[in-house]
Structure 1
Amino acid sequence: MVNLMRKFAKRVGRPGTQIWRGEDMISSLPDHLLYLILRFLTTEEAVWTSVLSSRWRHLWKWVPSLELDTSDFPDERTCAGFIDKFLNFQSESYLREFKLRIDQANCRSDVSLYEPCLGVMIKKPNIRHFQVESDLLEHWCTNEIPLTLSACEALVCLKLHFVRLNDFESLSLPCLKIMYLEDVFFPSDAAVETLISCSPVLEDLKISLNGDDVVVVLRVYSQSLKSFTLKRKDPVNAINGAHTVLVDTPRLEYMSLIDYQFKSFKIISMSDSVKIDLDVNFDLMRDNLSERDIIYNLLNNFSGVRDMTISWTTLEFIYRFQDMNPLPKFHDLTRLRVTMSSNASLEVLPIVLESCPKLKHFHCTLELVHDYSVAVITRLSRVLPRCLVFSLESVEMESPITEKATELKLVRYFLENSATLKKLVLRLNHESTGEKHEPSVLKHLIESPRRSSLCQFEVLAVPPNPEPWWIYVKPQRF
């Protein structure tokens, strides 16, 4: 070790005794290595290194990333002033990454003070990652953060939360690949379309519109987009009502719709291998006939997909109106994941399977939903869906242990009727109800006859949650 220290001393041109007796070795490293070390620290930690010695006083200012939380400053004016001073110091634009979290716990926060410095920051020629988010307690006492976008030649990742975008005349984002916009207020329909179309290499887009947005027609036109998530905040309380969505994304591989309401949803183009995740919430107290047509037309957009996930929120609507407008056929669907109410599962399951004549892989999660409007069916339909006889290969079911043993009835349904089934897995969660099946009941089920001689049947326990319920985990954006 001593020999290594001496060799290092010779390299930096310093006597070994000087390094050992009064000066730390790290301070003797060249600047570019010190910058690399500081990159592993938070901005707050990097700033604290300035008190080590005169050698470290200004080193943190050359670190290519700046991450700030306004709660670390006495007020907004001080934080905005700090950003201004940092920008003035970095005149040569070493900055690559900028993250700002604005604490609006105080209803009197003046977020407009950040507009000038944020406008300068995003124009930095080498900035690649730009993120601004607001920590909200109540929407009614918070203000949107104003921001003006312009040409950002190097920007690769843009993440904005509770930001109000100003009008822009020209915009260029030639390198942007990731764009997350949560509760972002757009000035017009054209602004959304321009923001997407001026990003020729965009691959991952997530939009969560606020209930107060003014967008009437949301156009998502992109030749490069691969993943698209669309969400709407407080859809039932949206003051401008539902609107139209148009999607033209020939390379799209994944689409997710969450808590969304619209009067029209049309897909012009998307990839044949796209995966769809539907968690669409409709207000059943309004015009039922109109909403029935909307959800039916929405599902028709996905009649050719091969992989789909449907929540109980969406399935419940389909279930209530299936007599008037049955579920469309998904002729190419081979993999399906659903969540459904345990009370309604005996009736809903055959309806779902009948709509997927070529289904091979099925995953079902049962939930205890106390909905008295759902009719309780005690027996499954004797009319077997086509996939159950000709194509279904694997079934995985996760369920709480119910008083009526609904989960066991569903297992018998698959074992006794599926001619092509190769594997069936039942995951039981007894923690949610405190109930347990008698071992003899499960043993009898495992030994029961099966229509498919190749079928393997497993009963597994859902592993307990490793974290206590009282531990708060901050939710991630999107």
Structure 2
Amino acid sequence: TISNSVDEMMIPPMTKRTRHCNEENEDKFSDLPDCVLIHILSFLNTKNAVGTCILSTRWKHLWKRIPTLTLHCSDFSTLRSFDKFVSSILSLRDDSIVLHSLDFDRNGSVESRLLKKVANYVFSHNVKLRRLGIDVKGDICHILPCISSCQTLTSLKLSVSPKGRYNYEKTLFPKSLNLPMLTYLHLGNFAFCAGGDGPIEPFSAFNRLNGLVIDNCTVKDTQILCISSETLVSLTMRNHSFDFYRIELSAPSLCTFAFIGTPYQMLCGRHLNAIKQVNIDAEMLANYTEPPMILLSWLIDLANIKSLTVSASTLQVLSLIPDFLKDKLSFLRSLKSLKVKLKPLAYGLSMTLKTDKLEKALKAGSELSSPIPDGIVDFLLQNSPSTDVDIADCSRFDDSFDQLPPISSSLFPQFLQPSSQEHVMDDLHQRIQQLKKVVLLTKQYLHLAKEEITRERDELLALKGHMMRLSKTLDALEQQMHMAMNLWQ
């Protein structure tokens, strides 16, 4: 039966020691009413919540009455076991219990049958649904009706990618999404499409929006994305694409801006000076020979910020701007707090920096410079010398940059994504030239690294693996070019 299949997946064999421990601990919970126990279980992911049914007969069916469902494939060893678990949970859960929250996250292309089952369950249990999260590779038409019907939603996290292992297209964002109670919106892998000649304004209908996250999204048929909201307080962006477009901010209440990735989008608007807190974790792709000047323009335009949190990689990108430290800029005059966080560099920026600095170090007979470029902190504080400075040595970011899930620093899928340009041949030629620069850069670093006696052998082996991937990616692009030429003829 379905019930037995869930038990087999979730309930490990109970040893004598386990029984003994359960008997000792049972009295600690025996006086608590069911509503309290269910409230405690609602903070667990659904897999762990179901697992509590081994504690005693009283706990056997408590999980069926939990008002939250957190279904993440990362909690399972295989996608097949995850799909089976999800289907069983939706069948066995007590239908009389109101659903307050559902979070469904599955890697890889999801079967339409399972996606429809999740969507139909949301549609039939949406009377008091407050939070909804769906992160899948599938057809948005299966889930859009259920989202539109959730008029009580206050939080929506939606990431929908087209099916296919090598499909890097974006899903078109729906234009008629009416969610009157929504205060938090997190969108991933969407393309905002213009309906006419004017700019795109996809968020103007959300009259209560307080927090917005735009995660690897782009624009289509225009170069302007307008973020218009009277209530928006926090804006977070992550970008690892080649797309350049302008973001016009019309958000008088906006006070916090966070960015992760490669800064290639211009910020403009009369409300930039209202932003008081900025968090930036910038990178630079290895195929770009020049650092993005947009990063510097952000710091200049965000004139009234009081708190700035940056990663060491952000400072490294700034340091690559020619003669950057020689300029005297009228910026950051109101700064009260500067926090620098150290973390491992992404592959693209690491290759650029290592080649440049290792070559200089070998010539000068000196060691590599520190993670924070010399003089750059003082440069940022030139107009606010009394600013409090905090340098945190950490392997990953904590509160300031945890608003988004981790992302791979691999640049290879970016090269192989379908061309969005009208002139496909020109686009493919440009990508091939860019990738050849990466290959030359990596080869140069490998040659230099062999001359440095302190270079670890494991790093050289890892870089040789990168070279193999670079070569395969270059071969794939050249095959695309060859096929395109044949079609053109």
Name the TM-score class by shorter chain.
Answer: 0.5 to 0.7
Aligned to 1:372: 356
Deviates more, 1:65-74 or 1:208-217: 208-217
AA partner of residue 370 (structure 1): K
Structure with the greater alpha carbon radius of gyration: 1
Which residue among 63, 81, 87 is the counterpart of 2:87?
A: 81
* 2:304 aligned with 1:355: no
AA partner of residue 106 (structure 2): I
Aligned to 1:207: 214
Shift of 1:118: 2.5
Other structure's SS at 1:197 match: coil
* 2:278 aligned with 1:276: yes
* 2:108 aligned with 1:133: no
Q: Is the 8 A contact 1:230 1:260 kept in 2?
A: no
Counterparts of 2:201 and 2:62 in 1: how far apart (Å)?
A: 40
* 2:298 aligned with 1:302: no
* 2:153 aligned with 1:182: no
Map 1:189-204 onto structure 2 (within 5 A): 189=194, 196-204=203-211
Aligned to 1:160: 158
Shift of 1:124: 0.7
Aligned to 1:329: none
TM-aligned CA distance change 1:242 to 1:25, over 3 Å: closer
Counterparts of 1:407 and 1:103 in 2: how far apart (Å)?
A: 36
Deviates more, 1:47-56 or 1:265-274: 47-56
Shift of 1:349: 3.7
AA partner of residue 208 (structure 2): V
Aligned to 2:102: 98
CA displacement 1:315-369 (0-9 Å, x = unmatched): 246x32xxxxxxxxxxxxxxxxxxxxxxxxxx64452x54348466575869994
Other structure's SS at 2:318 match: helix
Map 1:422-461 onto structure 2 (within 5 A): none
Counterparts of 2:394 and 2:304 in 1: how far apart (Å)?
A: 38
Which residue among 56, 62, 65 is the counterpart of 2:65?
A: 62
Aligned to 1:35: 38
Between the two proteins, what is the percent identity of the paired residues?
A: 19
TM-aligned CA distance change 1:371 to 1:214, over 3 Å: farther
TM-aligned CA distance change 1:190 to 1:283, over 3 Å: farther
Shift of 1:232: 1.7
Aligned to 2:443: none
CA displacement 1:441-476 (0-9 Å, x = unmatched): xxxxxxxxxxxxxxxxxxxxx87979xxxxxx9x94
Counterparts of 2:371 and 2:40 in 1: how far apart (Å)?
A: 58
TM-aligned CA distance change 1:196 to 1:112, over 3 Å: farther
Aligned residues: 341
Shift of 1:157: 2.1
TM-aligned CA distance change 1:81 to 1:200, over 3 Å: same
Counterparts of 2:357 and 2:193 in 1: how far apart (Å)?
A: 41
Map 1:411-430 onto structure 2 (within 5 A): none
Q: Is the 8 A contact 2:154 2:181 kept in 1?
A: yes
AA partner of residue 158 (structure 1): L
Shift of 1:251: 0.5
Shift of 1:126: 1.2
Counterparts of 2:373 and 2:90 in 1: how far apart (Å)?
A: 65
Shift of 1:226: 0.9
Shift of 1:265: 3.7
TM-aligned CA distance change 1:266 to 1:78, over 3 Å: same
The answer to which structure, 1 or 2, has the higher relative contact order (CA under 8 A, 6+ apart) is 2
Shift of 1:255: 1.3
AA partner of residue 153 (structure 1): Q
Counterparts of 1:111 and 1:426 in 2: how far apart (Å)?
A: 49
Counterparts of 1:53 and 1:250 in 2: how far apart (Å)?
A: 55
Map 1:286-365 onto structure 2 (within 5 A): 301-308=301-308, 311-312=314-315, 314-316=317-319, 319-320=321-322, 348-351=324-327, 354-356=329-331, 358=333, 363=338
Q: Is the 8 A contact 1:98 1:129 kept in 2?
A: yes
Q: Is the 8 A contact 1:250 1:271 kept in 2?
A: no
Cα root mean square deviation, aligned: 5.4
Question: What TM-score, normalized to structure 1?
Answer: 0.53
AA partner of residue 156 (structure 1): T
Shift of 1:125: 1.7
CA displacement 1:72-122 (0-9 Å, x = unmatched): 7745763453354257x42x4511121223143xxx753663134225416
TM-aligned CA distance change 1:111 to 1:219, over 3 Å: farther
Shift of 1:275: 2.6
Counterparts of 1:424 and 1:116 in 2: how far apart (Å)?
A: 53
Counterparts of 1:27 and 1:247 in 2: how far apart (Å)?
A: 55
Shift of 1:25: 9.2
TM-aligned CA distance change 1:405 to 1:29, over 3 Å: closer
Give ranges in structure 1 of 5+ residues lacking alignment.
1-19, 135-141, 321-346, 377-400, 428-461, 467-472
TM-aligned CA distance change 1:130 to 1:309, over 3 Å: same
Counterparts of 2:288 and 2:52 in 1: how far apart (Å)?
A: 61
Shift of 1:225: 0.9
Counterparts of 2:151 and 2:104 in 1: how far apart (Å)?
A: 21
Deviates more, 1:261-270 or 1:361-370: 361-370
* 2:252 aligned with 1:250: yes
Other structure's SS at 2:186 match: strand
Counterparts of 1:37 and 1:308 in 2: how far apart (Å)?
A: 37
Counterparts of 2:367 and 2:220 in 1: how far apart (Å)?
A: 43
Aligned to 1:147: 143
Aligned to 2:234: 227
Of Structure 1 and Structure 2, which has the larger fraction of its residues in strand?
1
TM-aligned CA distance change 1:46 to 1:262, over 3 Å: closer
Q: Is the 8 A contact 1:252 1:271 kept in 2?
A: no
Give ranges in structure 2 of 5+ residues lacking alignment.
1-22, 163-170, 361-365, 397-401, 408-489
TM-aligned CA distance change 1:355 to 1:282, over 3 Å: farther
